[in-house]
Amino acid sequence: MSSEQRGLNDSLSVPSNKALSSNEPLTRLAGAFKSASGALGEVLMPRTCPCCAVPVAYGAGSPLCEQCLPQLRSALVRVERVQVLQPLDGAVVPEVRAASRYEGMMPRALLALKNAGRTDLLPLLGEGLARSVYELLRAHRVELQSVPGSSISSAGTSAAPVEVLLVPAPSSAQSVRRRGYAPANLLVQEAARQLNQRLPASVQVRAVDVIGYAPRRWRGSGASFSSHTGSSLLGVSLLGASEAKNEQKSLGAVGRAERMHGALRVMEPALCAGRLSVICDDVVTTGATASEMVRVLQDAGSRVLGVCAVAAVPKKLLT
Ligand SMILES: [Zn+2]
């Protein structure tokens, strides 16, 4: 078992098989503990650092231990531009920014949020996303100033602030049911909350969860979509969103981009038309999901400023 897995399993720690076989009541007790969720689980099981599994004292004020907290903080402060997107058909590639590289303790922290219910990491990881968005907005300040009727462009009058939409990557309905929450959506809400406290009054951000997986009958609109799945019938994909995601893990960058083509849709196009938006995700790997999000948002009439993530798997780092 890797230290990563150990960290994730620790919050649900169950005695070894040997101990179980010699102690039946303990089995039932451990089962009860394991099924305990939320506050009850936290009370019954010792709180551990999601990055190294060391117990963290009650009232420590941080989800991480004293060693990991400064390391994770410093891993999140340097926002980098990353080249990860694999465009199809010569599509315009927006810039991607990430607060951290997906290495070191970052995978452990993000997987703990996604798969082990560690929503107590949201303030820290949300701050990373907020930094990433802040740097993107700063780089596009001239564009923000050119938005008609904005208080920036009308020199300090009482015009409305420019509102930039922060759009989280979608979660499948199945994964939301399994986890009980959508990690990317929670991260974006946290980042928006932090950003609106720090941005000048002339710019505000708003988290809008408007992109979802397209119904299966819609898919297959991508030209080479069906040729890669091997499981489509007359251009209609038989795969659900989670199956698509699992299959995506085994595909290369180009395969993933083609696989995602036509897989997403904007659920409220009227909300996005004519608006500035930033695509947000926890991790950007090949950029296939982000690239498809850009495409559907642009189709809905939104001006996509870029893609921001807590962490990116580095391919080529630009500056
Ligand atoms: Zn630790």
Ligand 1 centroid, distance to 45 Cα (angstroms):
17
**pLDDT at residue number 22:** 41
Ligand 1 centroid, distance to 3 Cα (angstroms):
11
pLDDT digits (tens, 9 = 90+) for 55-66: 998 778 899 999
Ligand 1 centroid, distance to 160 Cα (angstroms):
44
CA distances to 21, 116, 268, 305 from 30, rounded to whole Å, are 12, 17, 45, 49
What is the C-alpha to C-alpha distance for residues 152 and 250, in angstroms, rounded to an integer? 47
Ligand 1 centroid, distance to 120 Cα (angstroms):
14
Any idea which fold 76-318 has?
Rossmann fold (3.40.50)
Closest by alpha carbon to 312, among 69, 75, 54, 29? 75
Ligand 1 centroid, distance to 110 Cα (angstroms):
14
Asked if residues 311 and 101 have their Cβ atoms less than 8 Å apart, the reply is yes
Ligand 1 centroid, distance to 185 Cα (angstroms):
25
Ligand 1 centroid, distance to 315 Cα (angstroms):
28
**pLDDT at residue number 258:** 73
Phi, psi of 308, deg, nearest 5 = -125, 140
For residue 45, with 0-12 CB atoms within 10 Å meaning exposed, 13-18 middle and 19 or more buried, which class applies?
A: middle
**pLDDT at residue number 123:** 96
What is the C-alpha to C-alpha distance for residues 121 and 50, in angstroms, rounded to an integer? 9
**pLDDT at residue number 32:** 47
Ligand 1 centroid, distance to 111 Cα (angstroms):
14
Ligand 1 centroid, distance to 133 Cα (angstroms):
27
Q: What is the pLDDT along the chain (319 residues), one digit of tens a residue?
A: 444 444 333 333 333 333 333 444 444 444 444 444 455 555 556 789 999 999 998 778 899 999 999 999 999 989 999 876 555 555 566 789 999 999 999 999 999 999 999 999 999 999 999 999 999 999 999 888 887 655 555 554 557 889 999 999 999 888 899 999 999 999 999 999 999 999 999 999 999 999 999 887 655 544 333 333 333 333 333 344 555 555 555 566 667 777 777 889 999 999 999 999 999 999 998 888 888 999 999 999 999 999 999 999 876 555 4
Ligand 1 centroid, distance to 51 Cα (angstroms):
5
Output the CA angle 22-47-24, nearest 5 degrees.
15
Ligand 1 centroid, distance to 169 Cα (angstroms):
28
Ligand 1 centroid, distance to 180 Cα (angstroms):
25
Name residue, tokens 């036509």.
262
Ligand 1 centroid, distance to 47 Cα (angstroms):
11
CA distances to 231, 255, 270 from 238, rounded to whole Å, are 6, 17, 30
Ligand 1 centroid, distance to 59 Cα (angstroms):
16
What is the C-alpha to C-alpha distance for residues 240 and 263, in angstroms, rounded to an integer? 10
Ligand 1 centroid, distance to 6 Cα (angstroms):
12
> Where are the chain's structural domains?
1-68, 76-318
Ligand 1 centroid, distance to 282 Cα (angstroms):
20
Ligand 1 centroid, distance to 80 Cα (angstroms):
25
What is the C-alpha to C-alpha distance for residues 22 and 18, in angstroms, rounded to an integer? 7
Ligand 1 centroid, distance to 60 Cα (angstroms):
12
**pLDDT at residue number 217:** 60
Tally the residues of the chain. 319
